[in-house]
């Protein structure tokens, strides 16, 4: 059996204007579930970060990134990541995203030290993951679908069958919905919805370009081997 490690994060933002209910309980529920799946709850196998624990286990930005690095630090490991808390969006500082936005997760100290954006999450969880290891990840927050900027999107139907989404068609559909909101009577709620839809659409279309690029690389590799 491969080694198994888990990182469970729950942030209620207790006492703040952004307070949530249930994120701590989410961690307890997931911990029980994965224990039945063979994940141990010893300190060397599991890290829990919540804002009702001691300071060294507080879900600050620094602690979240350090824990992510720990999670994916070993080869031949099955890793499990769960986050329950706020998800958000910030302006893209590099101007590379057509939407002008980056999806984020929100540490408890975000007001002082900022949010953790999708580029950073990809770097710490995906890029650093050894090829021999596997990562299962649950993001229970807003904007979760594109937070890691993964190239493939799958969705289950009512019967539990899993299908790969057509990135182009999904992106176009979202753009049309965003356009419908924008061309309607203006208000702040419509603007916010349109921005979210547009960001989701560009994520789908970005994944399509990634897939085409990977296909091109594969074809080049096959040609060079011949």
Q: Which residues are catalytic?
A: 86, 142
CA distance readout (Å), 198 to 155, 158, 179: 20, 26, 9
**Nearest alpha carbon to residue 24 among 87, 83, 96:** 83
What kind and span of H or E run contains 15? none
Render the burial of 89-116: b for 16+ CB within 10 Å, e for the rest: bbebeeeebebebbbbbbbbbbeeeebb
Cβ-count burial of 162 within 10 angstroms (0-12 exposed, 13-18 middle, 19+ buried)? exposed
Q: How far is Cα 135 from Cα 172, in angstroms, rounded to an integer?
A: 30
């Amino acid at each position: 059996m491969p080694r198994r490690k888990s990182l469970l994060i729950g942030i209620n933002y207790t006492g703040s204007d952004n307070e949530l209910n249930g994120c701590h309980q989410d961690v307890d529920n997931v911990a029980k579930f994965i224990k039945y799946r063979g994940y141990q709850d010893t300190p060397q196998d599991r890290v829990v970060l919540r804002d009702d624990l001691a300071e060294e286990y507080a879900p600050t930005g620094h602690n979240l990134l350090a824990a992510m690095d720990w999670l994916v630090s070993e080869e031949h490991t099955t890793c499990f990541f769960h986050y329950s808390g706020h998800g958000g969006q910030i302006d893209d500082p590099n101007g590379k995203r057509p939407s002008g936005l980056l999806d984020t997760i929100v540490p408890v100290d975000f007001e002082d030290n900022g949010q953790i954006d999708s580029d950073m999450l990809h770097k710490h969880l995906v890029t650093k993951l050894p090829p021999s290891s596997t990562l299962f990840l649950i993001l229970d927050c807003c904007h979760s679908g594109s937070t890691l900027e993964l190239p493939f999107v799958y969705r289950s139907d009512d019967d539990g069958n899993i299908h790969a989404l057509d990135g182009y068609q999904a992106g176009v559909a979202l753009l049309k919905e965003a356009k419908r909101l924008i061309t309607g009577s203006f208000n702040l709620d419509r603007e916010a919805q349109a921005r979210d839809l547009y960001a989701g659409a560009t994520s789908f279309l970005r994944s399509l370009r990634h897939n085409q690029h990977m296909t091109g690389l594969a074809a080049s590799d096959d040609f060079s081997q011949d």
